[in-house]
Amino acid sequence: MLRCTLLPTALVGLAATLSAQDLLVRAKTVVIAPDAVLADGRFLVRAGKVAYVGQDVPADAAAKATAIDCGDALVVPGFVLPPTTLGRDRDLAEAALPFTPDLRAVEAFDPWHEELAKLPHGGFTSAILSPSPRNIAGGLGALVKPGAGGGSVAAPDLHLALSLNAAARNPERPPTSLMGAVDLLRSAFAQAKSSAAAGPDVAVLHSALQGNRKIAIAADTLSEIQQALDLARDFGFDAVIVGARDADKALDRLVAQRAAVVIGGLAPEMRLAQLQFPARLAEAGVPFCFTGRPDQARLSAALAVRHGLDRKSAWAALSRAPAQMFGVAGQVGALRQGCAADFAVWSGDPLDLGSALRAVYVDGARVHGELPSAAANPASSPAAGVR
């Protein structure tokens, strides 16, 4: 059923690419990045990337481009969903073994997966597909994107996913306790530090320690977070803490060790300290973002704003921050020159739950929604009515 609707879109997308037309996107407000907001702004999309922004758009290219006039809408960079299994937990959790750092999430990537196709519905244009935290060393994550003709992998082998949270401790296979899990990781890291020639799994750790890859550790309780930070300190890497339910109690250490935090989702019934945590993180300059299901992530950001987070930081938490935290800041998360043309058109501030999502573009191709045809540039043919 899904494929039926996608196929025509694919044809359209194909048509758009074949025509090799630039796109000139214009809107009342264009957010290039949270600190670069253009009023009556525009940018030029060429071959799926942002070629020129604002005043830099050459006049001749602007004239030849297909105009996408968003009217009084707000154009923001497409949101980036930080480590998630996109609901494919079964295929992304090698439960029989606790330590499999050399497994790659990209091998379990399904371009037609429903959850992937639903990302744009929440304004998300890319996600970091990650092995499940049910495994102490799950493997390598990848940056994936939804697409008109099925999803695609934008960057494989992005980060190393480790886990110290309760999901990783399984009573049916060792280690069953937190101290056992910590011991496992420590000995593995110690081995990795001393030599790379100890097998493909330790080699992955070695490479990560050299700085070639980000290391994300899933940890929720204070003891788990302390252990994760101890590992980062002792083996010399900057940790990204994923989940971080009780991280509000360890803020000082997070600041001191330049850690980053992926908050596993806020809900209205949580402790006040948890809801105010993002605001404190922003004040302290600790990078953070939200994960969960797409609608959950946006809700978390909105809740954080309600409890004191400034809007710019909230926008950053949904776009630029996750991209930076996982080393793909040049590709996604902002609409600067050279970045992918991933953007969403909103009727208002995306953090206001009343705002409607009008359209979403990935790599310059529309994957969701439709802009009113009257808004199209009268000089060119009306936008294809097929949705």
Partner 1 sequence: MIRSLPLGAIALALAALLPAQDGVTVYRNARILPGGAPAIDNGVLVVGGGKILAIGGADTKAPNGAAVVDCAGKTITPGLIDASFRAGNTPDMNENGDEVTPHLRVLDSLEPADPSFVRARSAGVTAVHVMPGARSVIGGLGVVLKTHAKDPQAMVVKHDASLRIVMGAEPSMGNRAIRGGSVDSIYYRRPTTRMGVVWAARKAFYDAKEALEKSADAPPATPSPGVEVLTRVLRGQVTAVTTARSEQDLRTALRLAAEFGYRTVLDDAQDAHMLVDELKAAQTTVMLGAPSATAIAGSAGADGADPRSVTARLLADAGVPFVITTGSNAASLDLVREAMFAARNGISSARALDAVTIEPARLLGIDQRTGSLQKGKDADFVVWSTDPLDPAAAAESVFVDGIAVQVLR
Partner 2 sequence: MNAMSLSAPLLRSILRCAVAAAIAASPVFAQDLLAVKAGRILTVSGPVVEDGVVLIQNGRITKIGKQAEVEIPWAAKVIDATGKTVMPTWVVAHSQGGMRNFNENMQNVPWLTVGDAVDPASPYFEDCLRNGVGAIHVMPGNQTLLAGQGMVVRPFGRTVEDMTIAANTGIKMSLAAGGSGRLQQIRKLRRAIADVREYLADFDRRKAEFDKEKAAGAIPADKKWTEEVDRTKKGAVDLVQKKAKGWLYVPSFAELDEALRLAQDLDLQVVLGNNIDEGVGLVKKLGKPVVLDDAIEYFETDEETQKEKRFCSAKLLADAGVPFALTLGQGGPTAYPWWQLGTCVRHGIARDKAIEALTMVPAQLIGMGDQLGSLSEGKLGNLQILTGDPLQATSWVETVVLEGQVVYERSKDPRLQYLFEAEKAKASKAAGPEKKETEKKDGAEPAKAEPAKAEGGKQDAPKSGNGNGRGVR
Question: Segment 332-361, which members bind partner 2 (CB under 8 A)?
Answer: none
Find the shortest distance in angstroms from Cβ 230 to partner 1. Answer: 9
Find the shortest distance in angstroms from Cβ 228 to partner 1. Answer: 11
Chain-centroid distance, C-alpha 284: 22
Burial class of 58 by CB neighbour count within 10 A (0 to 12, 13 to 18, 19+): exposed
Considering the complex, state which of residue 43 and residue 99 has its C-beta at the smaller distance from partner 1.
99
Find the shortest distance in angstroms from Cβ 223 to partner 2. Answer: 15
| Residues in binding contact with partner 2, number by CB under 8 A | 3
Find the shortest distance in angstroms from Cβ 165 to partner 1. Answer: 11
Identify what 272 binds: partner 2, partner 1, none; CB under 5 to 8 Å per kind.
partner 2
Q: Rounded distance, CA 273 to CA 200, Å?
A: 42
Considering the complex, state which of residue 201 and residue 248 has its C-beta at the smaller distance from partner 2.
248
Considering the complex, state which of residue 63 and residue 273 has its C-beta at the smaller distance from partner 2.
273
Find the shortest distance in angstroms from Cβ 228 to partner 2. Answer: 21
Pair of tokens at residue 199: 């097998």
Identify what 10 binds: partner 2, partner 1, none; CB under 5 to 8 Å per kind.
none
Is residue 340 within 8 Å of 154, Cβ to Cβ? yes
Question: Segment 250-279, which members bind partner 2 (CB under 8 A)?
Answer: 271-273
Considering the complex, state which of residue 256 and residue 273 has its C-beta at the smaller distance from partner 2.
273
- From its phi and psi, is residue 383 left (phi > 0), alpha (psi between -120 and 50) or beta? beta
In sign, the C-alpha dihedral spanning 352, 355, 361, 367 is: positive
**Interacting residues with partner 1 (CB under 8 A):** 169, 171-180, 182-183, 187, 221-223, 226-227, 246, 249, 252
Is residue 333 within 8 Å of 81, Cβ to Cβ? no
Considering the complex, state which of residue 15 and residue 273 has its C-beta at the smaller distance from partner 2.
273
- From its phi and psi, is residue 53 left (phi > 0), alpha (psi between -120 and 50) or beta? beta
Considering the complex, state which of residue 173 and residue 387 has its C-beta at the smaller distance from partner 1.
173
Considering the complex, state which of residue 252 and residue 269 has its C-beta at the smaller distance from partner 1.
252
Identify what 226 binds: partner 1, partner 2, none; CB under 5 to 8 Å per kind.
partner 1
Identify what 271 binds: partner 2, partner 1, none; CB under 5 to 8 Å per kind.
partner 2
Q: What is the distance between the terminal CA atoms of the chain, rounded to a whole angstrom?
A: 14
Phi, psi of 259 (to 5 degrees): -85, 165
Pairing of strands 159-163, 137-140: antiparallel
Considering the complex, state which of residue 29 and residue 135 has its C-beta at the smaller distance from partner 1.
135
Find the shortest distance in angstroms from Cβ 225 to partner 1. Answer: 10
Identify what 180 binds: partner 1, partner 2, none; CB under 5 to 8 Å per kind.
partner 1
Find the shortest distance in angstroms from Cβ 163 to partner 2. Answer: 24
Find the shortest distance in angstroms from Cβ 95 to partner 1. Answer: 13
Identify what 364 binds: partner 1, partner 2, none; CB under 5 to 8 Å per kind.
none
Question: Segment 16-75, which members bind partner 2 (CB under 8 A)?
Answer: none
Pairing of strands 152-155, 365-369: unpaired
Q: How far is CA 238 from CA 88, 184, 282, 371, 380, in A?
A: 28, 20, 18, 42, 50
Considering the complex, state which of residue 62 and residue 166 has its C-beta at the smaller distance from partner 1.
166
Chain-centroid distance, C-alpha 272: 26
Find the shortest distance in angstroms from Cβ 282 to partner 2. Answer: 22
Pair of tokens at residue 381: 């043919």
Note the residues at the interface with partner 2 (CB under 8 A).
271-273
